[in-house]
Amino acid sequence: MYEKYIKDNIVIDILPSAVLLLADEKIKYANKKFYEIFDCEPKDIENKSVYDSLDKENANRLKSFINEIKEGVKNDFIEIFITRKNGIKYIEFDARKIDKLNIVCTLKDVTYSSDVELENITNKSALKNITNKLKLTHDLLLDQEKMANIGQLATGIVHEIFNPLGFVISNLDTLKTYFEEMLTMYKELNRLDSIDKEMLEEKFKSHDLEFILSDVSDLFSDVNEGIQRINNIIDNLKRFSRKQEDELLEYDINEGIKSTLVIAKNEYKYFANVKTDFKNVPNIVANGSKLNQVILNLLINAVHAIKYKNLEKKGLITIKTFSDDDFVICKIKDNGIGISKENLEKIFNPFFTTKPIGIGTGLGLSITHEIVVVQHKGEINVESTLGKGTEFTIKLPKVK
C-alpha cells in the first residue's frame, strides 16, 4: 500500500526536504534528503521506530506531537534537535495524517539559520550539567562538614563509651568470681554424705553466700544500665551520622537536642554546664539529620567561646525551646567570649572564622544558615556582646 503513496506523489524522492512515511510510528519510507540529514542508510532505519535516533527528551516531545496529529488537533510543526556523527542538527518536523495508521512527515534542516537557538539549547544542557554537579558537590560538602564534627568529637565519644563499658567489664569479672565461689561450695557440699542445717549455714558463712546473693542483683542492674548507656550513645551516633537525604519527615526538636547532647557530652562537660528548658512544642516537618547538625554546630561554637574566655570555673550553655503561632523556636545561649560588632555581620559567610588555625573549617555557621533559612524556610538570628556571651535564635516553620 505504501507504493500507492509514492506513485501518487505523496512521497517523492526529489524534494529538497527530508520526507518520511510512517506506519504505526515506524519508518516505512524515507527519501534521499533524509539519509543526508541523519547520515544513515536505508538498512539503519527501515521498520524502526521514528524515535530511535532521538534522545529521551526530544523523543517524548515528538511522540506527543505525533499523537496530536493522529487525533487531528495539530497542524503546525515542532522543532527538535538531533546529535549525529556529522554534528548537531536542528530540525523543523512537520506531519500530516493520511489515515488512522499512516502519517507523512517532512523534515527541514534549519541548523545554520538557527545557530542562536541551537546555542541556547546547548548552553541550557551544559548549565543543567553544571547545576547537577554543583548540587552533588554541595551535598558532599554538607556531609563532610558533619563528618568533620564527628571526627572532632570521636575521642570524646570513645571515652563516653569506655566509661560505662569499664564498669560493665568490672561487674562481669565480679560475677564470674561469685559464680566460681558458689561452684566451689556446691562441689564441697556434693562430696559430703549427709548435710545438716548447722553445716549448711557454716558453708554459707565461709563462702559469703548471703553477701553474694544480695550483691548479684545490684551487679546485674549496673551491667544493664551500662549496656543501655552504650547502646544510647551508639544509637544517637548512628542517627546523627546517617547520610543526608532530602526527605522531610516529622521531627521533634526536643529529642533532636537530647540526641545531640549525648554525642557532644565529652566536648562540653569539662568546660560548661548545659541547662535545658524544653517546652511542649509540636513536631515539624523537617530533615532531622540536618537540623541535628545545626544544633551540634551551635553547641560546639558555644563550647569554644567559653574555652577561649578562660573562665576559672565552668561556663553555662542554656538551650530553650518554645513555640508561637508560626514557629517552633530554639535559643542557644552561652556566657563565652562573645563576638565583636565587625565580625557579627560576617559570621554566616563561608570560610569566615575567628578560631585558631586547625580548629574548625569555617563552614559551620554558613552551613547552619543554609540548612535553617534556605532548606527549611526558617530564620536564624544572633545577638552577642563582646566579653559577655552570644545567643542564637532558630525559628522553624510549623506545619500548616
Residue range 35-63, pLDDT digits in tens: 887 778 888 887 888 888 788 888 888 88
Last residue of a domain, one of 71, 90, 117: 117
Q: Do 88 and 161 share a domain, yes or no? A: no
Q: Do 29 and 170 share a domain, yes or no? A: no
Q: What span, in angstroms and rounded, lies between the C-alpha atoms of 11 and 6? A: 5
Q: What span, in angstroms and rounded, lies between the C-alpha atoms of 164 and 265? A: 14
All cell numbers assigned to 219? 551487679
Last residue of a domain, one of 65, 95, 117: 117
Q: Do 170 and 287 share a domain, yes or no? A: no
Q: Kindly state whether residue 266 falls inside one of the protein's structural domains.
A: yes
271: left (phi > 0), else alpha (psi -120 to 50), else beta?
Answer: alpha
Mean pLDDT, the chain, rounded, equals: 77
Q: What span, in angstroms and rounded, lies between the C-alpha atoms of 41 and 49? A: 15
Higher pLDDT, 215 or 317: 317
Q: Do 159 and 38 share a domain, yes or no? A: no
Q: Do 344 and 274 share a domain, yes or no? A: yes
The structural domain count of the chain equals 3
Q: Is the pLDDT reported for residue 7 higher than 50?
A: no
Q: What is the pTM of this model?
A: 0.48
- Residue 20's DSSP bridge partners are 30, 105
* Confidence grade of residue 187 (pLDDT, cut at 50, 70, 90): confident
Q: Kindly state whether residue 237 falls inside one of the protein's structural domains.
A: yes
Range of the domain at 183: 152-241
Q: Kindly state whether residue 354 falls inside one of the protein's structural domains.
A: yes
Q: Kindly state whether residue 164 falls inside one of the protein's structural domains.
A: yes
Q: Do 369 and 225 share a domain, yes or no? A: no
Q: Do 251 and 392 share a domain, yes or no? A: yes
Q: Is the pLDDT reported for residue 160 higher than 70?
A: no
Please state the rounded mean pLDDT for residues 339-349: 81
Q: Do 182 and 320 share a domain, yes or no? A: no
Q: Do 223 and 327 share a domain, yes or no? A: no
Q: Do 261 and 216 share a domain, yes or no? A: no
